[in-house]
């Protein structure tokens, strides 16, 4: 092996040191660019969050006003032809409001911003509030809705620690789904219970049912089993995917059993969640929960 002279060794060391300096410089440049890119991504996320929040308020506020006014007018107007028009305005605004809220929730879930807020929730009043909101849609479809509570503490009132707003969304989508896919003269049954596993909510319908091959697909985003230009049911295929994502967030579970042309049963189980020391109790309490006719299965 050829032995390098002292001068050659010095030159070799200088060359390698120079290469190392260049590599360190390149790494420094790359690191700086990565930091800058990360900062821009953080700014972009903040802008997206602010945009979603602002646009949600810009859309929801006027929609809420339209829905509230239409509801008041429907109660006041006596002329049938005018009452029918007011009811149509209410129904269309209600449907749009529901769709938009699911879209905003899906966006929040996608951005990782849908964090749970745990409260001591009067679940009975939450469910009843959701059902009250669907009274008009169910009546239009000639579908009756029955609600029962077991395992309640007193007077059919059941309290449970969970996120009240997310619980409303879950129940609203399941009820909307059941009503939309039920035929005239059929019944939707909502059953509320508290078991050793936690809170259990069952929504049963006597609708078109779901084929066994489709059961695994119904929670996928934008999946519509009833599709095409002649489809009988509206919706964008978001509702059940939102339900599944919210239940994952709350560490809950949903099971489905269905028979085509007989009906479907959706069973939700939620574990008790820890909530703050302030022990805030949430109840529907007359607050208008503006969710309407989400249509998908």
Instruction: Give tens-digit pLDDT for 124-138.
Output: 999 999 999 888 889
Whether pLDDT at 188 is above 80: yes
| Cα gap 184→207, rounded to integer Å | 9
**Which residue in 96, 126, 117 sits closest to 234, CA to CA?**
96
pLDDT at 295 over 50: no
Residue 228 — very low, low, confident or very high, per pLDDT cuts 50/70/90? very low
3-state secondary structure of 33: helix
pLDDT above 90 as % of the chain:
33
Burial code of 60-84, b = ≥16 C-beta within 10 A, e = fewer? beebeebbeebbebbeeeeeeeeee
CA dihedral sign, ordered 122, 126, 131, 132? positive
User: Where do the H-state alpha helices sit in the chain?
Assistant: 6-76, 80-111, 123-133, 135-140, 164-180, 239-249
Q: Specify the pLDDT at position 269.
A: 96
| DSSP, res 2 | P
pLDDT, tens digit, 9 for 90 and up, residues 137-153 = 898 899 999 999 986 65
Greater pLDDT, 134 or 72: 134
Q: pLDDT tens across 13-67, in order?
A: 667 777 777 766 666 766 677 777 766 666 555 555 555 565 666 666 667 777 7
Query: Average pLDDT in the 79-108 region?
Result: 80
- Range among 50-54, 160-164, 216-220 with highest mean pLDDT value: 160-164
Compute CA 40 distance to the chain's CA centroid, rounded to the nearest angstrom.
29
Q: What is the mean pLDDT of residues 154-173?
A: 90
Sign of the CA dihedral running 238, 243, 244, 245: positive
- Report d(CA 49, CA 37) in Å as an integer: 18
Give the lowest-confidence range in 50-54, 73-77, 229-233, 281-285: 229-233
∠ CA 16-21-26, nearest 5°, is 125
pLDDT at 285 over 60: no
- pLDDT reported for residue 42: 61
Q: What is the DSSP string of 39-53?
A: HHHHHHHHHHHHHHH
pTM for the predicted model, two decimal places: 0.70
Structure confidence at residue 245 (pLDDT): 93
Give the strands of the sheet with 281-282, arranged side by side.
Answer: 159-162, 119-122, 281-282
**DSSP character string of 100-130:** HHHHHHHHHHHHT------EEEEHHHHHHHH
């Amino acid at each position: 092996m050829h032995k390098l002279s002292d001068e050659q060794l010095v030159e070799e060391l200088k060359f390698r040191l120079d290469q190392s300096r260049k590599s360190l410089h390149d790494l420094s440049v790359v690191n700086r660019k990565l930091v800058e890119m990360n900062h821009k991504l953080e700014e972009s996320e903040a802008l997206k969050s602010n945009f979603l929040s602002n646009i949600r308020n810009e859309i929801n506020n006027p929609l809420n006003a339209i829905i509230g006014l239409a509801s008041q007018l429907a109660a006041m107007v006596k002329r049938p032809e005018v009452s029918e028009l007011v009811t149509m305005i209410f129904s269309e605004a209600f449907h749009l409001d529901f769709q938009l809220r699911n879209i905003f929730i899906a966006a929040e879930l996608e951005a990782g911003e849908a964090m749970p807020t745990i409260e001591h929730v009067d679940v009975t009043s939450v469910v009843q509030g959701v059902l009250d909101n669907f009274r008009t849609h169910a009546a239009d479809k000639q579908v009756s809705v029955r609600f029962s509570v077991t395992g309640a503490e007193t007077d059919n009132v059941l309290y449970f620690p969970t996120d009240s707003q997310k619980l409303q969304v879950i129940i609203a989508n399941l009820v909307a789904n059941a009503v939309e896919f039920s035929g005239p003269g059929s019944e939707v049954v909502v059953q509320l219970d508290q078991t050793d596993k936690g809170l259990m909510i069952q929504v049963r319908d006597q609708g078109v049912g779901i084929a066994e091959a489709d059961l695994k697909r119904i929670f996928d985003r934008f999946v519509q089993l009833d599709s095409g230009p002649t489809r009988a049911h509206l919706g964008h295929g978001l509702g059940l995917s939102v339900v599944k994502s919210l239940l994952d967030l709350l560490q809950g579970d949903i099971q489905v059993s269905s028979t085509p042309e007989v009906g479907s049963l959706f069973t939700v189980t939620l574990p008790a969640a820890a909530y703050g020391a302030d022990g805030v109790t949430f109840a529907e309490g007359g607050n208008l929960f503006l969710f309407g006719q989400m249509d998908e299965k």
